[in-house]
C-alpha cells in the first residue's frame, strides 16, 4: 500500500492539462441510471449524500423515457442501476424488466441491508429470478470498520444478506453474479493511502468470509474515495481536501486513461439529465455535446443517437480514478 504524509503543496494541475489529449467518448455501451437519493442508510463516505430523509427519485415520465431508450438502442449492453438504494426507488422493477426483456445485463448496486426493511423482503428472489448481477458494498471484511462507516449493525445484516443470496445460488451459479465493493476508510490525517491491490484483497475477503460465515462471492472491486459529496465535506472539515487531491495527482497513472468508466457510459439522474459519470452527476457537471449543449433522455430520444458527446467533462476529483491502478464502479482499471 502506497502512503504519503501531508506536505505543503503548490497548485493542483488541472486534470485536462495533465492529459496528452482531450478525454473523448467511445461509442456508448453502458447506461448507468441513478434512481434517486433515498436510502435506508446514511454512510459517512457517500458521494450521493443519500439518506432516509431524502425524497428525490425518478418520476413516471422519466422512467418511461428510459424504458424507450433501453428498447430503442441495442448498443446498450449494460443497464446499471444505482441510487440511493435503487431497490426502494421508483422505476426499479420496470427498468429491470425492460432491460432483461432485451437481453441486456442488469447490475443493481445494493447495500444489502435493504432486504430487511419492511416491504423489500422479496428483492433477493426477484433479483435471482431476473438474473441480475448484484454489486454489493462491504467496505471491509471486518465488522468494526463497516459499522463505523455505515452504521451500527450494518455488518451483521450484510452477512445475513450474503448468506441469503448464496442460498439462492448467488456466487456459485454463473447466471447469478455477486460482487463486493471495498472502499478505504476516509482519511482522518494526512497519511493517505491508495487502495490495496485488488487481487490480494479479494483473496483475503474470500478466505475470511468463507471461514467465518460460509459466504462466497465472485469478484471484489476496490474503489478509491473520490473527494465528492460527504467525502469532500469531511476532507474540507479536516483541512485535508487539497492535500488529498495532491496525493491523488502525485499517483497519476496515464495507463488508466483508456479504461476510465466515463469513456463508454452515460450517467442519468432522476430528472433525466445526462452526465459522463455518477461523480460528475453529484458535482453538478453535466455532459455536453460538441456544440456545448447539455443533454436529457428526451433529447437523446429525439436525436435518435446516444453518441452526441465528444469530450468528457473533467474536474480535479478525476485524479481519484487515475491514481495507481485506477478506480471505477467495476474496481481497479489495470
Ligand atoms: S453509500 Fe450507498 S448505502 Fe451508503 S448512504 Fe450512500 S447510497 Fe446508501
Ligand atoms: S470522475 Fe472518473 S469517471 Fe468521472 S469523468 Fe472523471 S475520470 Fe471519468
**Ligand 2 atom nearest to 315, measured from its CA:** 6
Q: How far apart are CA 55 and CA 35, in angstroms?
A: 11
Atom 4 in ligand 1: which residue has the minimum CA distance?
43
Distance from residue 99's CA to the centre of ligand 1 (Å)? 24
Atom 7 in ligand 1: which residue has the minimum CA distance?
84
* φ, ψ at 295 (rounded to 5°): -125, 155
Q: What is the pLDDT of residue 6?
A: 47
For ligand 1, residues with CB inside 6 Å are 39, 41-43, 46, 48, 50, 83-85, 111, 137
Among 255, 282, 312, residue to substitute to test ligand 2 (most atoms within 8 Å of Cβ) = 312
Nearest ligand to the C-alpha of residue 112? 1
Tell me the angle at which helices 154-167 and 143-150 cross, rounded to the nearest 10 degrees: 110
Atom 7 in ligand 2: which residue has the minimum CA distance?
318
For ligand 2, residues with CB inside 6 Å are 260-262, 276-277, 279-280, 312, 314, 317-318, 321
Distance from residue 190's CA to the centre of ligand 1 (Å)? 25
Write out pLDDT tens, residues 151-173.
999 999 999 999 999 999 999 99
What residues contact 73, with CB distance under 8 A and at least 6 apart?
Answer: 28, 306
Q: How far apart are CA 258 and CA 247, in angstroms?
A: 21
Q: What is the pLDDT of residue 45?
A: 86
The answer to whether the CB of 274 falls within 8 A of the CB of 268 is yes
Nearest ligand to the C-alpha of residue 150? 1
Nearest ligand to the C-alpha of residue 309? 2
Question: Is beta strand 274-275 parallel, antiparallel or unpaired with respect to 192-193?
Answer: unpaired
Q: What is the pLDDT of residue 10?
A: 74
**Ligand 1 atom nearest to 49, measured from its CA:** 6
Could you state, in order of their start, the residue ranges of all structural domains in the chain?
3-322
- 13, three cell numbers: 494541475
Nearest ligand to the C-alpha of residue 113? 1
Atom 1 in ligand 2: which residue has the minimum CA distance?
318
Among 261, 278, 281, 313, residue to substitute to test ligand 2 (most atoms within 8 Å of Cβ) = 261
- pTM for the full predicted model: 0.96
Write out pLDDT tens, residues 68-99.
999 999 999 999 999 999 999 999 999 999 99
Residues of the chain with pLDDT under 50: 1-2, 5-8
**Ligand 2 atom nearest to 318, measured from its CA:** 6
| Domain 3-322, CATH number (from 3.40.50.300, 3.40.50.720, 3.30.1300.30, 3.20.20.70) | 3.20.20.70
Q: What is the pLDDT of residue 9?
A: 56
Q: How far apart are CA 13 and CA 19, in angstroms?
A: 10
**Ligand 2 atom nearest to 327, measured from its CA:** 2
**In terms of Cα–Cα distance, which of 1, 58, 12 is closest to 35?**
58
The answer to whether the CB of 222 falls within 8 A of the CB of 201 is yes
The phi-psi region of residue 108 (left if phi > 0; otherwise alpha if psi is between -120 and 50; otherwise beta) is beta
Q: What is the pLDDT of residue 307?
A: 98
Nearest ligand to the C-alpha of residue 19? 2
Amino acid at each position: 500500500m502506497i502512503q504519503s504524509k501531508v506536505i505543503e503543496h503548490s497548485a493542483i494541475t488541472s486534470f485536462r492539462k495533465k492529459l496528452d489529449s482531450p478525454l473523448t467518448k467511445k461509442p456508448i455501451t453502458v447506461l448507468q441510471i441513478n434512481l434517486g437519493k433515498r436510502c435506508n442508510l446514511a454512510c459517512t463516505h457517500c458521494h450521493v449524500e443519500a439518506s432516509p430523509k431524502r425524497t428525490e427519485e425518478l418520476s413516471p415520465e422519466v422512467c418511461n423515457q428510459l424504458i424507450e431508450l433501453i428498447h430503442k438502442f441495442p448498443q446498450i449492453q449494460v443497464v446499471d442501476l444505482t441510487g440511493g438504494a435503487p431497490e426502494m426507488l421508483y422505476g426499479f422493477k420496470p427498468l429491470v424488466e425492460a432491460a432483461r426483456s432485451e437481453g441486456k445485463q442488469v447490475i443493481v448496486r445494493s447495500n444489502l441491508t435493504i432486504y430487511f426493511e419492511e416491504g423489500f423482503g422479496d428483492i433477493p428472489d426477484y433479483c435471482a429470478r431476473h438474473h441480475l448481477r448484484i454489486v454489493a458494498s462491504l467496505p471491509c471484511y471486518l465488522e468494526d470498520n463497516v459499522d463505523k462507516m455505515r452504521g451500527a449493525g450494518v455488518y451483521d445484516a450484510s452477512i445475513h444478506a450474503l448468506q441469503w443470496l448464496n442460498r439462492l445460488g448467488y456466487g456459485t451459479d454463473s447466471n447469478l453474479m455477486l460482487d463486493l465493493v471495498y472502499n478505504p476508510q476516509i482519511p482522518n490525517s494526512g497519511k493517505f493511502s491508495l487502495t490495496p491491490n485488488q487481487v490480494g484483497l479479494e483473496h483475503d475477503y474470500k478466505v475470511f468470509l468463507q471461514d467465518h460465515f460460509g459466504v462466497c462471492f465472485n469478484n471484489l472491486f476496490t474503489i478509491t474515495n473520490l473527494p465528492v459529496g460527504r467525502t469532500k465535506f469531511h476532507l474540507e472539515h479536516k483541512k485535508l481536501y487539497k492535500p488529498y487531491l495532491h496525493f491523488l495527482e502525485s499517483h497519476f497513472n496515464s495507463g488508466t486513461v483508456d479504461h476510465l468508466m466515463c469513456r463508454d457510459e452515460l450517467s442519468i439522474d432522476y430528472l433525466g439529465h445526462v452526465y459522463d459519470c455518477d461523480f460528475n452527476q453529484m458535482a453538478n457537471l453535466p455532459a455536453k455535446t460538441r456544440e456545448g449543449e447539455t443533454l436529457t433522455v428526451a433529447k437523446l430520444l429525439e436525436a435518435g443517437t446516444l453518441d452526441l458527446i465528444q469530450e468528457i467533462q473533467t474536474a480535479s476529483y478525476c485524479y481519484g480514478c487515475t491514481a495507481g491502478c485506477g478506480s471505477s464502479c467495476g474496481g481497479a482499471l489495470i
